[in-house]
Every structure is written in structure tokens, then in C-alpha cells.
Amino acid sequence: MKEYDKKQAILFAIIFALLLISPNISAEEEGPNVESNISAIDTVWTLIAAFMVFLMQAGFALLEAGFTRAKNAGNIMMKNMMDFSIGSIAYFIAGFGIMFGAGTAFFGTEYLMMDGVLNTTMWGTIPTYAFWIFQAVFAATAATIVSGAMAERTKFIGYLIYSFFISLLIYPMVGHWIWGGGWLTTGEVISFLADNPIIDFAGSTVVHSVGGWAALAGAIVIGPRIGRYGKDRQVNAIPGHSITFAILGVFLLWFGWFGFNAGSTVAGTNLDIATIAVTTNLAAAAGAIMAMTLTWIKFGKPDVGMTGNGIIAGLVAITAPCDVVSPVSAIMIGAIAGALVVYSVAFFDRLRIDDPVGAISAHGVCGAFGTLSAGLFAEAAYSGGVNGLFFGGGITQLLAQLIGVVSVFVFVFTAAFILFKVIDMTVGLRVSPEEELEGLDLGEHGMTAYPDFEHVYNPIRR
């Protein structure tokens, strides 16, 4: 019996020891919990949204190629490829740090080359690297808007230099002002903005107006395409080579925009993503219907290309207020944007500012309108307390939006104009007249997008 008792005592001692250390074992081997599940869902959602926004590069490439001539299609594709490639490196070097790092009211100074960021570093509920890739695809979107406005006459090397600097400096600085704790949201420069920060949820101004105003500067510096304008304000049509490509591009952009807007929550657990998806879709649809209707009235036929631009206009406009307006207001915002883009394209043509794809109008003008619309249509039920002018909130928020729109226009247009002028005076911004007529595919890349087509070179008559 004593031997048995001794063995039993040893067994109990072993069990007791295991019980003492078991909490530590369970802590180390603990499975998923509420917090980890939220982080996982938010991370996966943010990455999927980023990949959807990346697909918008293909949308822009198809749209721009379709709206321009076949002899320049390869050049358009090359510029869109390099926008994302160069933009990614520039944004990694300093763009992200300038945009989101702590620093001054105007630019950040942290995270240069992602210094200090590890694979375990978190940005809220998601890894910082997940947040970085989401923001990197946004930077590429801003850069590529300019490609279409300056298409068919821009030197490739000059364009690459522009692409690097907009992703490195111009876009990140505006992003810092609005999304990175800068002066348009903190009141450090204008105290009024501390209580009334600008509303730009997904980037009508930060992304689209930045690209649009840079495109305006570029189009002015480089001048119109040969043959675009005649005497007595005559505007000569230069049809694109594939309306099919252009509208396929529009569909890809529409799809990607769900990631653009709803993904800006960077949280799949934020149920506002459903409302944002609805407002995004309705604004695009209303923009299409309005642009189609106006061109039908003006020209006697519904214009396919301008209807596509109406979709883009509606999407750009709803990007800022998508989380603070009702579905009904989203339809109104999209419809107004669809009308704006039609008249804006004609307005810039009257000024002899040549934009082959309507990027200045769709992104610059409609981006500005979309940002202002938050001050008009915001509703407390959706915004968490802010009412716009049309819902009893007075002019306060609209004034904040106007300050943001004007400030960004002045900075971006000035900075981009200087950048393009410097490029023009150094490496050159515009190709030779002979190369422009021959096509940039051959002149800039030594190839053609359609090798089975017969190439005809029309020399300039002197």
C-alpha cells in the first residue's frame, strides 16, 4: 500500500504541475479571438480593395488608348505601366512618409523608405504594409490621369520625370494636408478648420483633382495636337481608334471604384461599406444617363464616348462625399457631374486646351464639384453629425470645402506648371512634329501596337 500511495502522490504532483503551467501553454497556443478576427477581416478587405484599385490602371490604359489614335496605342500602354512602376518606387522612397508621417502642417517626415516599419507594425487594425499598398495604388491613380490629357505628343522621358515627382512630392503633400493630419483638417493655419475639417473621404480632391489640375498644367505647357484647332475657333475632331477599348476601360474603372470608395474604410468590419457601394453605383449611373441625355439633345444622337465620361464624372464626384450623403443625394451629385463634364469639355476646347480623353473635366472639374457637394448634401444621419447647406447645416462646411478646393488647385497647378516647364527646358516635353504625325509608337518605342496594319507616314508640308 505504501508503494501504491507513493506512486499516487507522484501522479498527483505531476498533474498539479501541469495545471500550474497550462495557462501559459494556452496563452501561447491561443486560437482566434474577436480582436484577431477583426484584424484579419479588415486586412483581407483592404488588400482586396487595393487589388481592385490596381485593376483601374488597366481601365485607364484601355480608356486612353481607345480615345486616341492607333499609332499611339503602345505609347499609352507604356506610360500606364510606368506610372505604377515608377510611382510605386517613388511612393516607397518618400511619398508615403510625406503623406502620413508626423511632421509639419504641410508635410510629414517619418517613414522615409518605410524606415521603422516591420511586418508586425500595425496601422489601426491592419498591418502598415497593407495600408501602404492601398495608398500606393491611389498614388498611381493620381499620376496616370495626366497621361490621357497629354496623349499623342509627349516625350516619353519627360513623362517619366513628371510621373516620379508627382508620386514623390506633389500628390503626397496634398494627401498630408487632408488625410495625414495636415492644415486642412487641424486648424493649424486657419483655426476655423479645426472644428470644420474638409470632407474628402476617398479622394475627389486628394486623388482626382490633383491629377486633373496637373493635367491642366501639362496640357497648357505642351500645347494642342497638330490639327486639333483651326482658324476662327474651329475645333477639329480627332477620333480615337477604338470606342470598344474606351468603354471596356470605363467598365473596369467602375468596378475598381467600389474598391476605391468602399475600400477607403480600410475595415471590412465597418458596415458603412454597403452604403458607400450604393452611393458610388448610383452616382455613376446618374452621370451616364445625364451625359447621354445632353448629348442626345445637343447632337441628335447619344454619344457613346461622352456617356462613358459621364460615368467617370459621376464616380469622381461621389468619391469625396460617398460616406456622408444619402442614395438620393448621390443620384443628384452624379447627374450634376454628368452635365458638368459635357459642358466642361466644350469649355476647354474653346480655350484651345487640348485634352484627348476629357481628363481635366472628368477629374479636375468634377473632383472639385464632388468635394464641394459634401458641403451641400451631407446629412447627419450618414455623416455622424455634419449637415450640408441643403440639409440645414448652413454655409460652414461648404466654406471649409471651398478652402480645400481652392488651396489644392493653386498648389497643384503651380507646382505642376513649374515642373513641366523645367522638363520642357531641359530634356524636352514635346516630340517633334514629324514624330507626332508618324506616331509615338514608332518614334518613342521603335514598334507599333498593330504590326499587321499598313503604316502610312504623312510628312508635314512646308
pLDDT at position 453 is 74
Instruction: For residue 229, list its beta bridge partners.
Output: 235
pLDDT at position 154 is 98
Domains of the chain with CATH codes: 39-445 (1.10.3430.10)
Residue 392 CA, distance from chain mean position: 31
Question: What is the separation, in whole angstroms, between the first and last Cα of the chain?
Answer: 120
Give the C-alpha separation, 397 to 400, whole Å: 5
Average confidence (pLDDT) over 364-368: 98
Percent with pLDDT over 90 in the chain: 89
pLDDT at position 461 is 39
pLDDT at position 454 is 62
pLDDT at position 25 is 43
- Pick the range with the lowest mean pLDDT from 30-34, 39-43, 69-73, 89-93: 30-34
For residue 93, what is its C-alpha cell?
522612397
pLDDT at position 172 is 98
pLDDT at position 32 is 86
CA dihedral in degrees (284, 285, 288, 290; nearest 10)?
A: -110
pLDDT at position 5 is 63
Give the C-alpha separation, 45 to 363, whole Å: 26
Identify the burial level of 350 via C-beta atoms within 10 angstroms of its C-beta, where 0-12 means exposed, 13-18 middle and 19 or more buried. Answer: exposed
Q: Is 450 helix (H, G, I), strand (E, B) or coil?
A: coil
Q: Rounded to whole angstroms, what are the CA distances from 311 to 81, 127, 321, 335? A: 24, 34, 16, 10
Q: What confidence tier does 26 reach under pLDDT thresholds 50, 70, 90?
A: very low
pLDDT at position 2 is 57
Average confidence (pLDDT) over 265-271: 97
Instruction: State pLDDT tens for residues 215-232.
Output: 999 999 999 999 999 988
Nearest to 249 by CA among 86, 359, 360: 359
pLDDT at position 415 is 98
Backbone angles phi, psi at 188, to 5 degrees: -65, -30
pLDDT at position 31 is 74
Identify the burial level of 91 via C-beta atoms within 10 angstroms of its C-beta, where 0-12 means exposed, 13-18 middle and 19 or more buried. Answer: buried
Give the C-alpha separation, 428 to 355, whole Å: 20
CB 439 within 8 A of CB 72: yes
Q: Is 123 helix (H, G, I), strand (E, B) or coil?
A: strand
pLDDT at position 231 is 85
180: amino acid identity, one letter: G
- Given a cut of 50, is residue 27 above it in pLDDT? no
Give kind and range of the element (H or E) at residue 254.
helix 243-262
Give the C-alpha separation, 138 to 263, whole Å: 11
CB 69 within 8 A of CB 439: yes
Instruction: State pLDDT tens for residues 191-201.
Output: 999 999 999 99
Average confidence (pLDDT) over 174-178: 98
- Given a cut of 50, is residue 261 above it in pLDDT? yes
pLDDT at position 30 is 66
Q: Is the dihedral of CA 54, 59, 62, 67 positive or negative?
A: negative
Residues shown for the chain:
462
- Given a cut of 90, is residue 369 above it in pLDDT? yes
For residue 460, what is its C-alpha cell?
508635314
CB 245 within 8 A of CB 148: no
Instruction: State pLDDT tens for residues 128-162.
Output: 999 999 999 999 999 999 999 999 999 999 999 99
CA angle (432, 434, 436) in 5-degree steps: 70
CB 211 within 8 A of CB 143: yes
